[in-house]
Amino acid sequence: MRGKQRYYCKSCDYHFTIGDENTPQEPKRHHEVTIMDIARQLGISKSTVSRALRGHTDIHEGTRQMILDLAKELDYEPNPLANALLKRRTNIIGMLVPEFRHYFFPTIIMGAQAVLSKAGYNLMIFQSDESYETEVANVKALLRSRVDGLLVSITGKTENFDHFRTVLQKEVPVVFFNRVCPELDTPQVIIDDYSGAFQAVEHLIEQGYRRIAHLAGPSILQIARLRMQGYVDALQKHGLPMDESLIVYHDLTEENARLCARHLLDLPQPPEAIFAVNDPSALEVLLLAKKRGIKVPQDLGIVGFSNDPVSAIIEPSLSTVEQPVWEIGEQSAQLLLEQLEQPRLETKVLKTRLIVRDSSRRRG
């Protein structure tokens, strides 16, 4: 069996036998080692090889060893394409994020990747760049690629969810994280945005700020609505009036955040403090205030959301609401893996924590 003449094609890493049959079969033009090669050399069937490699039970121990040895010697790698075609499983997870310039989504991706690669899945990442059309196109592309599941954080402009309905119709599981979809029954990973925002605004009130503005996100996003609600309720709890003119919505792009910051500081009666929906936009406020010589925190208090690393090193350092970013990735991936086993609805809510820094501390 094992003693046959084996040849090795150096240029392309291909092993083959000559005189196996009486036909001196020459090496095929392009050779990837397949289970058929192993079977031929061992004079057995491909079924047997497949079973041995797969660790199936009813295989003679000697035969299995022969196969395993030869497979290692030939450096055999199973072809995932053939497998995927047969099993309708690519072992690829699609991930869709709005952007990854800042630290937030990259970190989530890393968390997800850690979990998924341990489970034998690879990641295909797309970014919608806050464009609804791109998001739809990306979902389509992901579906075309036959990914096994989807990890999604939607854009700030996504109002129509038909593209995700298509996904669910094809029985491809979807887990939303951070920016979730409220009208679809899918598992989600979110944080307690409401209480995070509430704490942040209450903290500002405690520091003596009264006219507190909110640089909000697009109200179609749940995170934006919840943070807004936290803001509103905190004001109300402390008997402060809510001034509509102090609420300004932005679409989560950098330029737009800059515009909104200017709008707020240009107000005839500018706010004493600003609670921003995320750190990048809070940062825009902070930078503009610095440029104009507005004293932070004395004349303007600022609190952001998410604890971007920049917030700690900017001067004055930015108060913010920390959220477990890496863990969001992990949990989302974990949830998706469970969906792949058995679909069931589940929402994970992670905790936030207020980090008070210099941008909002003007007492004790």
Considering the rule CB under 8 A, would residue 163 count as an interface residue with a copy of itself?
no
How far apart CA 279 and CA 312 sit, in angstroms, is: 11
**Angle, helix 61-74 to helix 35-42, in steps of 10 degrees:** 120
Q: Does 355 bind a copy of itself (CB under 8 A)?
A: no
| Residue 162 partner contact from DNA, a copy of itself, none using kind-dependent CB cut-offs of 5 to 8 Å | none
Q: Which is nearer to a copy of itself, 107 or 222 (CB)?
A: 107
Instruction: Give how far the C-alpha of residue 299 lies from the chain's centroid of Cα atoms, to the nearest Å.
Output: 38
Q: How far apart are CA 297 and CA 318, in angstroms?
A: 10
Total residues in contact with DNA, by rule CB under 7 A: 33
Scan residues 182-241 and list those touching a copy of itself (CB under 8 A). Answer: none
91 is a site residue for DNA (CB under 7 A): no
Using CB under 8 A, which residues numbered 266 to 285 contact a copy of itself? 283
Answer with the entry of a copy of itself, DNA, none that 351 interacts with (C-beta below 5 to 8 A by kind).
none
Shorter beta-carbon distance to DNA: residue 85 or 349? 85
What is the sign of the dihedral through the CA atoms of 139, 148, 103 and 351? Answer: positive
> Strand, coil or helix: what is 16?
strand
Q: Does 9 bind DNA (CB under 7 A)?
A: no
Q: Is 47 in the site for DNA (CB under 7 A)?
A: yes
CA–CA–CA angle 194, 196, 202 (5° rounding): 100
Spatial neighbors of 196 by CB under 8 A, at least 6 apart, are 227, 230, 305, 321, 323, 352, 353, 354
Least Å distance, CB 78 to DNA, is 4
User: Residue 113: which of a copy of itself, DNA, none does it interact with, CB under 5 to 8 A by kind?
Assistant: a copy of itself
Interacting residue with DNA among 2, 4, 28, 101 (CB under 7 A): 28
**With binding defined as CB under 7 A, does residue 2 bind DNA?**
no
Q: In whole angstroms, how far apart are CA 322 and each of 76, 105, 209, 250, 261?
A: 48, 14, 21, 21, 22
Q: Does 143 bind DNA (CB under 7 A)?
A: no
Number of shown-chain residues binding a copy of itself (CB under 8 A): 43
**φ and ψ at 243, to 5 degrees?**
-105, 110
Which of DNA, a copy of itself, none has residue 43 at its interface (CB below 5 to 8 Å by kind)?
Answer: DNA
Shorter beta-carbon distance to DNA: residue 74 or 282 = 74
Q: Applying CB under 8 A, does 117 fall inside the site for a copy of itself?
A: yes
Where do runs of H (alpha helix) occur along the chain? Answer: 35-42, 46-54, 61-74, 80-87, 104-118, 132-144, 162-169, 193-206, 222-237, 254-266, 279-291, 309-313, 325-341
**235 and 247 in contact (C-beta within 8 Å)?**
no
Q: Does 340 bind DNA (CB under 7 A)?
A: no
Quote the tokens at residue 114. Answer: 């850690």
Three-state secondary-structure class, residue 123: strand
CB of 56 to DNA, least distance (A): 7
Buried b (16+ CB within 10 A) or exposed e, 212-226: bbbbbbbebbbbbbb
43 binding DNA? (CB under 7 A): yes
Segment contacting DNA by CB under 7 A, of 43-51, 233-241, 253-261, 351-359: 43-51
d(CA 201, CA 203): 5
Each residue 97-116 as x (binds a copy of itself by CB under 8 A) or -, in order, gives: ---xx-x--xx-xx--x---
Residues lying near a copy of itself in the complex (CB under 8 A): 12-13, 30, 32, 77, 79-82, 84-85, 88, 90, 92, 100-101, 103, 106-107, 109-110, 113, 117, 122-127, 141, 143-146, 169-171, 283, 287, 310, 313-315
